[in-house]
Structure formats: C-alpha cells, structure tokens
Structure 1
Amino acid sequence: MMKQYMKIKEKHKDSILFFRLGDFYEMFFDDAIIASKELEITLTGRDCGKKERAPMCGVPYHSADSYIAKLVEKGYRVAICEQIEDASQSKGIVKRDVVRIITPGTITDDKVLDEKSNNYLCCIYMDKDGIGITYVDVSIGDLYTTQIIGNEKKIERILFDELAKIRPNEIIVNEFLYNNEDLTNSIRKRFNTVIDKFDEWAFELSTAEQKIKTQMSVVTLEGYGFKNKKYSIASTGALIEYLNETQKVSLNHLNNITTYSINKFMVLDMNTRRNLELTETIRGKSKKGSLFWLLDKTSTAMGGRLLKRWIEEPLINIEKINERLESVEELINNILLIDDIKKLLTSVYDIERLMGKIVYGNCNARDLLSLKNSIKVFPKLKSILLTTNSKQLTKLAKNLDTLNDIYELIEKSVIEDPPLTVKEGNIIKSEYNKELFELREAMTKGKEWLSKLEKREKERTGIKSLKIGFNKVFGYYIEVTKSNIKYVPDNYIRKQTLANSERYITPELKEMEAKILGAEEKSMKLEYDLFVEIRNTIRQEVKRIQKAAKIVSTIDALNSLAQVAFKNNFVRPRLNNKGIIKIKNGRHPVVEKMLENELFIPNDTHLDNNQNRIAIITGPNMAGKSTYMRQVALITLMAQIGSFVPADEANIGIVDRIFTRVGASDDLSQGQSTFMVEMSEVANILNNATNNSLLILDEIGRGTSTFDGLSIAWAVVEYISDKNKVGAKTLFATHYHELTELEGKIEGIKNYNILVKEKGDDIIFLRKIDKGGADRSYGIEVAKLAGVPHEVIRRAHEILSELEDRDIAKNSVAITKSNTYEESKTNETIGEKNNNHQLDLFSIKESQIIDKLKSIDMMQITPLDAINLLYELSKEAKKM
C-alpha cells in the first residue's frame, strides 16, 4: 500500500495527497506534517519498513470537505485519491488514483463558497505586445475572455483594472509573465491571490485553439468572437487544459464563452472601486455599508451574483441601459408584481451551482429535489411576466424554458425525504422501476415472514422472551436468554454465546436471510444505478437549464433594483451623450440609508463639457465635501447599471471612466510614501482620463508642504481644464483657497463651498453646497469638535492670528494662468519678498533650485515627470 502511495505522490508533488483508506483520507510524510499543523489534527505514525515510520494523519471522508476548504484557503492544492474499483471484487491491493485536484480557483463546495460571490480562476497569457485574460467560475461554468494590445505600461494598467474587477482566487500564467517578478509580486500583494506558472505548450496557438474547439464541440471559433484574438485564444485554451488536468471530469457545463471588449463597459480602476465602496467597505471589508449591500434585495444566490457583476461592470450603451431602466420602471408601477416575483423566487435554489454539482457527479438526491422545487415555479413566473408591457420582461418570459420534462423526471423518480448518501438506498420511488418494486416487495414480505417466525417459535418453545435479531457479522439469529436454554429445540444451531444469552440459527432462517439480504443488496445497487441514470439524463440538458437559470437571475436582479427604488424613493434617470450631468436634490444612497431616522441634506450638481467642467469645492473638514463628491459618482454609476437613483431629478451624461483620488494611504510594501502613492494615482488619472470621464479629486497636494501642495493642485487643475489634454468633468475638493481665484480666469471652472454656520467659537455644518468659495477652513473649530485640549485650541488661535497678519497671499503677486500652458516657462519672476523678508508663494532663495527650474523645457515635460520633479525639488528645499 505504501508503494502505491509513493507512486501516486510522485505524480503530484505540488499537492497535499488525500489518500483514501476505508472511511478515512490519510496523509503521510511531509503532507501529514503540514496538514496536522494547518488543520490542527493529531499527527501519528505508521510503520512502512523495517526501520522507517511514516508521519501520518487523517480525516473522515464524510467530513473531508471542510478540511479541504481550509487547506485550499491557505493556498495549498489538494489531490483527492480514491479507490477506483470495488474492494470486494479486487484481488490484492485495491486500485487507487487521483480523481480530482482542488485548488483555490477550482473549489466548488457550496458550504465554503460565498453564495453571492463568484470564485474565479484566471489564466493570463502575455508577451511584449499584448495580453489575453480568461477567467471562469467552475462551480457555475461562466467563462469570459478579453485581450489588450499595446505597450507594456498600457497592458499592465489595464491588467490591474481587470483584476480589480475579477478578484480571482487563483491565477495561472505563461512563462513570460511569470518571469516578470516585479509584476507578479505586485499582483500577489495587491490582490492576495495565488499565481502559478502553467505548461508553456498549453499556450501555443494551435494547441489552445484545438482545446477550445473540443470543449465547445465546434469546428470553428468565429461564432465565439475569437477572430484576430490570438491572446484570448492562448489564455482560454490553456485554462481549459488546466481544468482538464485538475478536475478530471467532462466539464460539459462549461459550454459557452463570452468574449468582451473592455471598451463596452465603464472602466473602474482599483482605487475607484475601493473609494466608492462598490461591493465592500474600505474599513472592515464588509458588505454592509457598500453599494451592493444597498441594492441587493435579490431572492436567489445567482441573482445576487449577477447584480454584483452589473455593479462591477456599468454599461456605456444608452439603449442597453434604458432597457434595464424600462423593466425596473414597469415593476415599480406594479408593486404587486414585485411581491409576486419575490415570493416565487424565494423557492428557487442556486440552480447554477446545482448544475455544477450534477456535472461533477457529486450531487445527491436532495440536490435533485432542490432543482425540482426550483423549476416548479417557472410556469407561474413565465405567465405573470407575459402580462407586462416591458419589452425586456416579456422577452425574458418568452425565452424562459419551464423545463417540464426535468420536473416530471425528478417528481416521478426521487422520494420526498431522501438520505444524504446515494449508495445506501431509500432514494428512488418504488413505482419508478418494476424491478425495484419487486425487490422491495421481497424485502417487505421477508420481514413479515420473520415477524411470523418469531411469533411461531415463541408459541412452539414456550419461550416468551425469544426474539429474532440481526447484525452485520452473523446476519439473522434467534436469541434466547440463558434461563430458557433448556427449552431450546434440537434443530437450533448455536452460533454465538453472550453473557446473558445464546444466539442460534436454523436452516430455514438462513435460507430466508439469503433472500432478504440479497434483495436489499440488489435494491441498493439498483437504486444507485437508477440515480446515476437520472443524474446523467439531467446532465445532458445542462445548456437548457443554464439558460433558464440566467433568465431567472436577470429577473431577480431587475426585481431587486425595483424594490430598492420603490422603498427609497429613487427616480428614473434620463441619459444623454452630450456630457451633461445635472442632478436635482441628489443624495448619497448608502449614507442616507445608514443614517436611518436622521435627515440627509440633498444637493444639486451641474457639470458639463463647457462652462461647468470643473467644480472647485472648498469648506471645512467634516462638512460633507467627500460625501457630496462620492454621491455624484455613485448616482452616475447607478444610472449606468440601469438603476434608479437617489434624487428628485437626474440627467446623466454617459461617462467612459470614473476616477477617484480620495484619502491618504501609503504602500510600504512597495516602498512608497503616502505622498508618492497620491502622486502615482494623480499621474494615472492625468495620463488616462478623457473628456468623457468623471474625476473625483479630494485634497490633491495635502501630502507635502503647503507651497508644494498648492503648486501641484494648481497645476493639476490647469492641466485637467485644458480640453486638448484632459477636459474631463471634475469635482475638486481643496483647502487651498487660492484655487478659487481660477474661476473667471480659466474657462469651465466654477467655485462651490459647503455652508457652515458660526455660533460663537463653534460651527454647525449645514451640509449644503452653495456657489462661491469658502473664505476660511475652520480647521481649529473642527479640532475643537474632535476634543483637542482647550490649551492647544487657544494657542492655535494665537498662531493663526499672527500668520494672518503676515498673510503670504496678500503680499504676493497674484498668479494668473498664461495664455498657454507652455508660456508659463517665461514667467521667471513669480513673486516678491515683502518688507519683513517674508517668502511669497513661489520665490526660492537657493540659486541651485532656481537653475533647475529655469532648465525645465515645458514643451517636452509630461505630467508624471513634472510631479516627480516637484517631489525631488521639495526634498532638496527641505534639506537647506
């Protein structure tokens, strides 16, 4: 047996081998040492030679799933080694082999997986000119692929954007990407995922193409949109090969591939997803407090997963968005319909993952009943949706296959309360199969005969306590207490002696035993065979069932949006392609919900591509600037997923991207300070935003000195305002009041402030956005509200008074924007010293730094280079 183990282990060195021995999965040697530590189970040993003793540990096979899940969650691969022949039929040692390898991206146990989240396995193929990204949830069968062509920086940026959306638990890559250690290490750290290199031959174009054709049972890939997509072909083919190697079953639920272009959806980078808290909160990483938490009123797990995908992938096609909005509006106008759909869908189980279990062959009879009970509501769901006026809802209803044949098959075959196991009988109805009916009749009659035999023998022998029993070792027997042994007839054959009784058999009893046990054994085997036959019949209809499940998921997601809109008084947004975002009395959907009984103060917003491109927002901390900006971004995003929005009116111009730069954080693992992280994010925005983007920028430049920060913030606003460079709609919150001077000097900039009310030395936040700039920051007042000691507050007021008397801005030359960005290099004199030799905004003492500034060629420098140069000059100035 140990030789057999070693031979199998040799083929699976990178996995922990669960080796089936009877009712246990055993692990040996290093696997046992690792497993005992990670699973906190006892480490024992087993003799496997004259001197050698192998470390050993094990887990019961019936509860192995939870142990496997723990190991996989910690990043280990687990190879499941089973007996592949009947032990009773084998000669010598039972044949064993690995039947499946479970990895972080291929786990399918529904007790472990989050029911409303996908568990994605991702495959990436990359070379110097492009990249292919393919990902799949093997518990469902959904497979998606895209490719990007371009330079290395573009490829890497888009890769990170896609991974932020996908959030895979496992990634397999080709050698080229694996050898790029900086990139792979960055992916591991940012996404907390496992990355492994896969066989290079699997990525070869001809091999990969053939793998896809075989899996999809087609002779050409054009129907799947693979034309001129060699990178997608390579990553998809390699992913299918990886699944074949690890899953070792026919994955016929993986029968459709969705090829997509990243330009078909609103692009959201990792920072934006985090800052807007789309599916989880920044603090605590919890669902509660996220947009998904607010919008998710789905009745099914698969509806919840689809809704989350909609949030992760906002649309940019107005027709498709309006199709969803029309359906949501139809449901809202018929509140009884919302309730009817919700009640029906409450009975629907996770059909997508049930089909995954059926395809894998690890479902039981209860899973089939769950499928049956889910299908049962389809006819009613179809009929009520056909009565609606919504084009999408009626189309969904017409395309919904009610799967009556599947329902009937399970209804007439599977009993209502079957056991968890499928090999111990009592799962198939007697009427379903004639042979099964006859075997059960024999079993029933046999047990009736035993009952009559016991009664007859009691009367014949006069032994009132005589009874007929059964155990697996001796079979059926007659038990007599020792006080009655003298009455035992001569035809009784002693079989076993116990402390207080003797057990006997008779030829007649053994003959009936053979009939009863033979019928039971045949019955259990027949039931299992019938179950497998039923399961395989359902497996053949996987495409139909998956299609129906997708339709039900869509109905569920739309109904969820309708419920939320109705309950929270949301309105249908109008959409435009003119770049106008106009919101009347907009509210932050999540904050408003979290406030519960408190009143949320609504605010208006007006942005466009002309006179209202940039809103400079000033006001104190805690006044609500960040909440306001986020609510504009969320309302825009909600509109583009097809949701109603929290406002009195909303006219939303389609945006291609939303960028956010909010809050302060560092990335010490990458050797980056808070300010460097901030500047890197700003650089990404300036280099990739378009005039169709929406930018949310909060306190740019706060991570460095006042002069440096103001300079950067000012330059960033100028750059964004230039239509030839960015020209994006922007909400720009700042404490630098000097930036309010830009209104009227640069086209498209408007000033706004958060209103506050002063009451003595205290302030009251009114949470209202008003036109015009704030005249002060109220920082000391906020510090007082936070509980800073009174002595510190008093001294801060004294220092502020002195500084205001020597206000730098009052003694400096006003900065105005040059006619062109490039002409600013001619402004060599940008400030003067006052009588107290106080430095104005941009004057610098040291000639060395001045020389560097003079040497800058503004015609050539990029935004990122400018930011890096400012950063270096700042460090030099601080040293002097």
Structure 2
Amino acid sequence: MDPALGPPEKMAEKRDELTPMMRQYHDLCARYDDALVLFQVGDFYEAFCGAAERTARLLEIALTSREDSTGEYPMAGIPIDNAESYIETLLEAGYRVAVADQVEEPGESPGVVERAVTRVITPGTLTEDELLASDDNNFVAALAGDPHSSGQTEDELALALLDVSTGDFLATSSSANETIADEVSRFDPSEAIVGPNAPTDLLPETCMVTPFDPNTFERERAEDTLSQYVRNPDALLASAVEISVCGALLAYAEYVRGGAHEGERGEDERSGGDDGDGANRGESADTSSEETRLEYITHLTRYDPREYLLLDAVALESLELFEPRAVQGREDATLVDVLDETACALGGRRLRDWIRRPLLEPRRIDARLDAVEELQSDVQTRESLHDDLRAVYDLERLIGRISRERANARDLRSLHDTLAVVPDVRENLADADCERLLDLHERLDPLADVRELIDGGIVSDPPIEITEGGIIADGYDEHLDELRSTARDGKQWIDDLEDRERERTGIDSLKVGYNSVHGYYIEVTNPNLESVPENYERRQTLKNSERFVTPELKEREDQIVGAEERADEHEYELFREIRRRIADEVERVQDLADALATLDALVSLADVAAQYDYCRPELLEHETGDDGSGLEIEIDGGRHPVVERTQESFVPNDAQLTPEQRLAIITGPNMSGKSTYMRQVAQIVLLAQVGSFVPATAARLTPVDRIFTRVGASDDIAGGRSTFMVEMDELATILEEADERSLVLLDEVGRGTSTADGLAIAQAITEHLHDDVGATTLFATHHHPLTELADDLESAFALHFEVERCDDDVVFHHDIAPGAATGSYGVAVATVAGVPDEVVERSRELVVDAAERDSGVSLEGGDGGERDDPTSAVASADGGESPVESRPSLGDEADADEVPADVADELRALDLAHLTPVEALTELDRLKRLLEE
C-alpha cells in the first residue's frame, strides 16, 4: 500500500482556498489517511490528485481532470452502480477503501451537499455479497498480549475473531504462541489488528495487518466497548487480555462502519444529482454511540482450543481439507468439496466450521452421528428437507444487512420466503427419534409475526431502489393509500384529458405527454396551431410542434407530483420502520439461522453417507494402555474420500493401530499408495470426529487430540529455507508438541540429505516417537533398514504395499500387507513415468554395479540368459535403499567354518540358478539374521 493516502501536500497548503466540495474531500482524506477515499459526485465515486492517478492505473480507467479557482488537478471515477467490482480490485492491490457518500438532499441546507464516510471496506470487514464467498466465513482478527508482559513465551496471548458479515464472534487465549498460531491458521483471517506485545509473525502472509488505535486495547476502554454487546464480560472471558482483544476488535468493526459523526445511509439509497453535488434521500446520523453499534453482533463465544481436534497450518494443507495442494488438476479435490452437499449458504459455512474444528468428546460426536444415521436411513425425509432448505436464503448476512440499515425491500422478501419454508421443515422433523433432531425441531421458530409483517407491508416483487416508491403493499397504511389514490385520480383525469381536448378543439393529432423537465404538456403540430384555444399557454417550442399547458393542467400536475413525492417519502419512512422492527428480532432470526445451518450440514453428511456407502464409526472412550497410549484405530476396508471420487477405481485397505501396535513402518514403491493410505487414515479419523460417517466398511476408534503431518516436499524460497530445512522445522514441531493422544503422519523423512544422515535422522525420530512421545504413528519410508525397528521396538510393526513383477514391468496392486517391502522399484517407476529408454537402461546398469559392490555377490549369474532386473532391491532413482545397503556382508561377522549346520544346510539347498536377484538378496539377508541371533 502507498505510505501516504491522505490529502496531497499542495491541497493541504491551499485548504482555505479550496472550493467547499474539495474542502470536504481534503478533510475526509485527512481523517481516513490510511485508506483510499472514494468520494461521491453524482452517479460516480471520484478520487482526485495523486489518489486519482493511482486509481486510474490500478483500475485501468480514464484519468481526467477538474478545474476550479485553485487550478487543475487529476480526477478518476467509477460508477456507483458497479462499484463493487472496482473496489475488489483495490482490495486485492492492498488498499483499504473509505466510501464517502452524499448524506443529504440538495436544498436541505445551504451550500454544498454534505458527504460522509459511511463504511471503510477492508479485506476482513467485507459485508457486500458481491465481494464475499458465500460458503465460508470472512474473519478479521485481533491479537494482543499482556501489556505488562516480560516478553517471555509463557506470557498470555489472546485472539479474537469476528465475521462482520454474519456476526460470528469468537475469542480464546493461550500461554503458548504455537497454539495461537494454530488457531490463526485454523480460521485463516483476511485481516488483523495487533495490540501490545503481540508477535505479528504468528499471522500468515496472506493476512493484512492494519494499524489501529492502540488505546482501544486498554482494559477499561475495551471493557466499555464490549459491555455494549456482552453482559458481564468478566464472567464470560477468561482474562483481561481476552477482554482487551474483544473490545478493540469491536471498536475496529464500528470504525469501518463509519463513525457516528459521519452519518449513515444505506448503499441502496444512493443516486446521483445532475451537477455532481446533488443526491437522493440520505439518513442523517444521531451523535449517540448507538449509531455505530452493530446490533446484530449478539453472541460472543469463548472457547478453549483443547476442546477440539487441533490442526496446524501444515496439517490443514497436507490433508487438503480446504485447498488442493496440486498446482494443476481438479480444483474441487478437497475434503470439504466431497462432503459438501449442503443446500444453502448457512449449511455450507457450518460444515466448514465442523471440518475446521472436529470434536473430541465421544458423547457430542455420537449426538451428531445419531442425527446423520437417522437422516441417512430415512430417504424421504432427507430428500424433503434438502428440497426445503434449497429455498433458505443466507439469514445471517440478511439480518446483518437489515441491522446495519443496508437491506433493501428484496432482502426483506428473501427473509419472508425463508420463513415461509420453516413450517414445512418443522413438519419433516416432527416424528424424529434422535435427540439432536428433536432439539432442532423445537428451535425452528417460524417467526410468524415477522413473516406477516413483511407479507402485509412489502409487495411480492419490489424494485431494488427503496426511495422511489412501489415497495409498500396496498392496504398497509391508510395515509399512503390516500396519497396513491390522489395520484391515480389525477393521472386518470390526465388520461381522459387528451380525448376531451381533441373533441373540444377538433385537433385529432393533439397529444398529452410528460417529461421530467417540463412536466405535463399538450402537444399540437404546427399545421394545427391556428386551432389552439386561448387558454393554452405556450411551454416549449419544437421543430414541428408546440407544447402548451393550461391552468387546470398545471393544477392537476402539482396535485399529482405532490401526491407522488409525499407518497414516496412516506413509503420510504414506512419501509425504514418495517426494517427497524425486523432488526429488533435479530436474536430470534440468528437462532433460526443457527438451527437451519446445523440441519443443512447434517442432511449433507447423511446424503454423502447414503450416496457413497459410508459407515457409522464407533467412538471409544480413552483408556490408557500399559505403555501410556490410549489410542485405538481400527478401520476395515478404508477408502480415501477424495481419491476414490477422482479415480475410476480404488483399492480399500484396513488399518489396525492399538496401544500394543501403534507405530507402523510402511514401505513400498512410489505410486503404490503409501501417502494416500496415511492420509486416508487421518481423514477417516477426522471425519469421524466431525460427526460424519466414514468411507469404510467398519471403523472403530478413539478420538484423537491432534493430527500432525510431515507429508510432501516443499521449500520456502522467500524465507530462505531449503526443502530439508522446512522438513526439519516441521519435525521439530511434531517432536515437541505430540503426545500419546496424537496421530502422526511421516512421509519420507530424511530424504533431503545424504543417505547415511537421512537414515540416521529417520531412525532416531522413530525411536523417539516410540519411546518418549508414545504417539500413534504412520511412517512411510524408502529407508528399508528402518523395518528392522519393527523387531526392536515393542509397539512397532511393518507394513508394505505389494507389487507384482511381470517381465520388465511392475504392477501396483495398492494392497497393504504385513511385513517389509522387498524394494522401492524406482527404475520401474521411472519407466512408467516415461523417462527415456536410454536413461532407464543406464540406471539399470548403475544399480547393478552398486548392488555388486555393496553385497559382494555377482548379480549376473544364473543360466547365462538375459539378466534379471535388479532394481527392486537396490538404490532407486528417488533415494530408496537396498535392504542390504550399509549392512555388513556375511563374511564380516562369521567364517564359513563357523556357520551353524542348519544355516549351512539352507545355503546348500538354495537353487541360485532360479532365484531372481531380489530373492537372492532377501535370502542372504534372512540367513545373515540367523547368524546374528
């Protein structure tokens, strides 16, 4: 963002010489010096001077100029009717936008029409539907530490989050910076304000940090602000720091709405005057603080991150919950995409929140599962509910606009149409069995009084504009009906006037017409001017005709226009009254929205379960085992919920993780399914804790407190970190924060350095996770010597993905089985990937040479025919290792004369001529182990 968005220096120097309109612009720029001011001039929002040059360049619009007594200066403008698309571009460029609207009509006061900033638009405080994604929240955050902090990491940090468009308001705190960083990643705010002693490095790069008055974070001031929204903040929140961030965040939300001194008018109530200084009706603000209070923010939820399954930024990305990792490919290949069959925006946001914050307590999870199971089994009810919910508008944002006095008549009709389906939704739930659905049935308030108010007061198909009449239904207000009747009677008189005057004058071509400049007139063509009566008064001369008016016509015109103007004014006031009365019911509307959102999310989960053959998971209570771990994950026929939708076929696999066997070392070739398998286990666990059925034939598990992932390779070029350094940073976090209730996924740890270093790191990590952390772990690796740990570590075991050799090719069956893989088949994978034949053949030669050096055994023996492919047993192209690499040969530890008789007998019995190289090496490795016992 440009460092100085305030008024240009030359303008500031000449302020007293500026025209009244430009003085207004200067003062608003000075007051909102951190934003780009868009200043209403007629039908356009204008920027001037340097701001105009920046705006024209960014928006690719024409740069013009304006001249007055102080000189000529640049000007650029955008049409008000299409402002949102331009504002979106400014936001993406890093600007905050202060919208200065005309807040009075011309002639209401002498001089230039008054303008005021009615809203400051920033990435985190959007309320315009055109700029918001309907299926997710848009949060602005406040972050602060203890103002008396010593600067140590154990000092408390507090985080508040607010969605200005819906009123969702959350707060938490922790003495661990990492916990707050995880929560920031979980909610992904678009913008943040930062208070005392708060490290900004906890915020993602995509989050705009906005400077804001630090005094708003002071305890007393924050508490005063918060007390306008929340009763007894001290009892609800856990600390003074939480009060500080919540109060400051509300102050910021009030600021972007437009200050009390600035005035308030709805975005749908603006239109232009003919000379740039005119406006239609505005809403002047009172000077009380009530004018800036956001009435629709009625609930503050204080939560503890430990109440939910914790997912840090790495896990959110690795598991592809909301964003796909692949640069190319399907954009909808995420977990939320495959689960989201919601019918309305409310349900879509609720489902995303459940995925963002899976539950921990089996009782709460089972309550959701009971509802999903009942809806899944009752097809007719589920489909009826889905059809009804499709008619539900976004009540949370609707009531927000209504409370902010930015809703038009169509918004009120949308609320009415939503309320109209609530009785049918209640009827569909009347015979529900489970407690959760019965509770929703009770909470579905039809708001009959609000619906009747809208139905009786607003026409069924109102215009968008609310200041030009035609929105209040006939019969709602007696005075309005009288004014309309007067206007109708006058227009009927005028409709009859043409026939009467033709008959009276004998001029058959005489016409009665109207335009906005000259009003009503009688038009007579030039050849008939001699027949014009004496009482006709000339009003306008045209090329081929003259226009006249009579005293009686002028009287009727005044009567009609006066009645219409008074009707429009009265109708507008009636609309505002209806809107205010609905705003008074904000909490009831929000409670209904909450119930509908929950129901829609449950119906979506049930629909997915029914369509894709998901099963209900069994949730177990935590029971600490002998080794300190209480996790149990048993999955029969598990499937990856995303991958199975994107591929023609998918091979299900089981998972068996218990306190006695909690560390699985998984080997197998690339492309065999190791990463997919690990992710599917984690996603099935996560889905179960969301309260969803899972893609499996059966699942039984203990809720997991946290999921850690180290999956996939990436670097941080901007941060100066290599792929290996990123990997080590993520591993350090896992080793420091994981415990016996964590699920850890590790994929190819140690691959970014030398083989010896990588193997050493991988083994040390495995031992630490087993011995000291006790976490349930899935470790996929090409370091085949790690499989020996399955024998050495009490709770470790080996799994591998099976591969079948067919001549020079390999076939991946994607089936997981006990034990270690015989190799990584790297060269075979290179062949499948389309690596040129000459490179593949050279790779085969090199791996044969390496195998012979390391094992001391010639791999070119046999029957003298074509050499078998040894690449499945030796170092692969992606860094895999031979099961015998770095291990001593048989002769290093035992003389031939000392070989036990049973081992010697087995050696003699080997038919070496018919063994493949991999089988020969496997036998040598097995016999070596017998010698070591």
Normalising by structure 1, what TM-score?
0.88
Partner of 1:876: none
More moved, 705-714 vs 247-256 = 247-256
Distance 2:81 2:845 in 1: 74
Aligned AA for 1:250? R
The answer to whether the aligner puts 1:13 opposite 2:24 as a matched pair is no
The offset of 1:19, in angstroms, is 1.2
Distance 1:831 1:730 in 2: 26
The answer to whether the aligner puts 1:159 opposite 2:156 as a matched pair is no
Aligned AA for 1:607? L
Distance 1:638 1:317 in 2: 14
Aligned AA for 1:603? N
- What are structure 1's unaligned runs of at least 5 residues? 811-829, 837-880
Partner of 1:63: 82
The offset of 1:834, in angstroms, is 11
The answer to whether the aligner puts 1:196 opposite 2:196 as a matched pair is no
Partner of 1:464: 508
Aligned AA for 2:233? L
5 Å-filtered alignment, 1:231-380, equals 231-248=241-258, 249-284=292-327, 288-380=332-424
Deviations 1:206-236 (A, max 9, x none): 21112111223x3x2245x214x22211110
Partner of 2:282: none
Partner of 1:606: 656
Asked if the contact 2:185/2:204 (under 8 Å) is kept, the reply is no
The answer to whether the aligner puts 1:588 opposite 2:635 as a matched pair is no
Deviations 1:190-217 (A, max 9, x none): xx1211232221111121112111223x
5 Å-filtered alignment, 1:167-182, equals 167-177=188-198
Asked if the contact 1:287/1:293 (under 8 Å) is kept, the reply is no
Distance 1:61 1:803 in 2: 72
SS in 2 for 1:111: helix
5 Å-filtered alignment, 1:520-559, equals 520-559=564-603
Aligned AA for 2:45? Y
More moved, 395-404 vs 207-216 = 207-216
Distance 2:67 2:814 in 1: 75
SS in 2 for 1:376: helix
Partner of 1:214: 228
Partner of 2:130: 111
Distance 1:832 1:586 in 2: 40
Deviations 1:3-60 (A, max 9, x none): 222122211111111111222211111221121111111111111434x322111122
CA distance change for structure 1 residues 809 and 305 in 2, over 3 Å: closer, same or farther? farther
Asked if the contact 1:297/1:564 (under 8 Å) is kept, the reply is yes
Partner of 1:226: 237
Point out 4+ residue stretches in structure 1 off by more than 3 angstroms. 284-287, 830-836
5 Å-filtered alignment, 1:436-475, equals 436-475=480-519
Distance 2:143 2:58 in 1: 30
SS in 1 for 2:814: strand
CA distance change for structure 1 residues 806 and 283 in 2, over 3 Å: closer, same or farther? same
The offset of 1:832, in angstroms, is 7.9
Partner of 1:840: none
Asked if the contact 1:38/1:71 (under 8 Å) is kept, the reply is yes
Deviations 1:767-822 (A, max 9, x none): 00000101111111101111111122112111111211222799xxxxxxxxxxxx
The offset of 1:174, in angstroms, is 1.4
SS in 2 for 1:107: coil
Distance 1:43 1:27 in 2: 10
Distance 1:423 1:594 in 2: 51
Q: Which residue of the other structure, out of 72, 77, 94, is the alignment partner of 2:113?
A: 94
Identity level (%): 44
SS in 1 for 2:735: helix
The offset of 1:72, in angstroms, is 2.1
More moved, 251-260 vs 24-33 = 24-33
The offset of 1:142, in angstroms, is 0.5
More moved, 663-672 vs 168-177 = 168-177
5 Å-filtered alignment, 1:36-47, equals 36-47=56-67
5 Å-filtered alignment, 1:414-813, equals 414-576=458-620, 577-578=622-623, 579-595=631-647, 598-610=648-660, 612-722=661-771, 725-807=772-854
Aligned CA RMSD, in angstroms, stands at 1.8
5 Å-filtered alignment, 1:811-826, equals none
Deviations 1:689-731 (A, max 9, x none): 0011001101000111111111111111111111xx2111111
- Number of equivalenced pairs: 796
More moved, 640-649 vs 441-450 = 441-450
Deviations 1:292-323 (A, max 9, x none): 00000000101100100100111101110000
The answer to whether the aligner puts 1:84 opposite 2:134 as a matched pair is no
The answer to whether the aligner puts 1:136 opposite 2:162 as a matched pair is yes
Asked if the contact 1:349/1:374 (under 8 Å) is kept, the reply is yes
The offset of 1:187, in angstroms, is 3.2
Partner of 1:126: 145
Distance 1:675 1:65 in 2: 44
The offset of 1:88, in angstroms, is 2.4
Asked if the contact 1:175/1:198 (under 8 Å) is kept, the reply is no
Distance 1:630 1:307 in 2: 20
The offset of 1:632, in angstroms, is 0.3
Partner of 1:845: none
Aligned AA for 1:617? I
Asked if the contact 1:571/1:647 (under 8 Å) is kept, the reply is yes
Distance 1:195 1:716 in 2: 37
Asked if the contact 1:174/1:197 (under 8 Å) is kept, the reply is no
SS in 2 for 1:670: coil
- What are structure 2's unaligned runs of at least 5 residues? 1-20, 259-291, 624-630, 858-885, 893-933
Distance 1:546 1:375 in 2: 12
Asked if the contact 2:233/2:243 (under 8 Å) is kept, the reply is no
Deviations 1:219-260 (A, max 9, x none): x2245x214x22211110100111122213331100110000
Partner of 2:870: none
More moved, 275-284 vs 746-755 = 275-284
Distance 1:733 1:412 in 2: 66
Distance 2:683 2:773 in 1: 22
Asked if the contact 2:708/2:734 (under 8 Å) is kept, the reply is yes
Distance 1:833 1:341 in 2: 69
Partner of 2:289: none
Partner of 2:270: none
More moved, 482-491 vs 52-61 = 52-61
Distance 1:301 1:347 in 2: 11
